[in-house]
Amino acid sequence: MAAAVDQKIPAFENTSLDDITRVTDTLRATFRSYKTKDIQWRLVQLRKFYWAFEDYTPALINALRQDLRKSKHEALLSEINWIKDDCLYLIKNLERFTKDEPVSDVPMTFIMMKPRVRKEPLGMTPHEILPKLFGELKTRYAERPGGYTRVLRTEPRNAYDQAPSAILELVDGPRDLRFTMTAKAVARGQHEGWAMNDVTQKNVDKVTRYREGGKKALDKLVSQF
């Protein structure tokens, strides 16, 4: 592994709209060809991903130093090696993770059919995600300074499946945890006769600012506690 951290990072270049269309069309066509469902194809991609991190380690160390002020040791320990270890783990266990699972507690009449659970990537349909992305979410976050989602790492599902997982939560979504906790804090203050402190007021402003009808929705939720 190269140890230098002074490798030059190329200047940032915007991706043209034409290139974005071409790349997304290629990705859609590739997925629809069922090429990505092949386990061996996925293993090749994981190996390429691993070697990309190996080959670009000096540039990644330099980028982490400039952007996040991370030392070489911290960059390797908490970022680069972590991802490489995940790649190796997935390469080793991918076939086991994607293997069909037998269904337990099957009625006697269906045992001979040998039912099983097949793990298969289904992808995403554009008509489900694009209208909201370029409609409601675009207007809500057009002027927002940053931070649109929360990613919470979770514990492994069981002793046999140690693959990393996370919960991706849409900020200002209908089940936004911060919105609910803020409403509880306001309700508690009202019930106990407290004046709203600066922290609570700041949270109220945050959770209602970019939500359509946010103040009314917060008042309604407060009244339910």
The pLDDT tens digits for 15-37 are 888 888 888 888 888 888 888 88
Tokens of 173: 């979504």
Residue 59, number of CB atoms within 10 A of its CB: 16
Residue 172: DSSP 8-state = T
Question: What pLDDT does 2 receive?
Answer: 46
Assign 88 a pLDDT band (cuts: 50, 70, 90): very high
Of 11-15, 27-31, 114-118, minimum mean pLDDT range = 11-15
- Residue 128's Cα: distance from chain center in Å? 18
Measure Cα distances from 12 to 9, 119, 200 in Å. Answer: 9, 39, 40
Q: What is the pLDDT of residue 127?
A: 58
Burial group, residue 83, by CB count within 10 angstroms (0-12, 13-18, 19+): middle
Q: Which two tokens stand for residue 153?
A: 């790492």
Output 51 or 150, whichever has higher pLDDT: 51
Q: Do 151 and 167 touch, CB atoms closer than 8 A?
A: yes
pTM score, whole prediction: 0.47
The pLDDT value recorded for residue 167 is: 52
| Average pLDDT over every residue of 162-190 | 67
At 63-76, the pLDDT tens digits run 888 888 889 999 99
Residue 91 main-chain phi, psi, to 5 deg: -60, -40
Which helix H or strand E contains 167, and what residues bound it?
strand 165-170
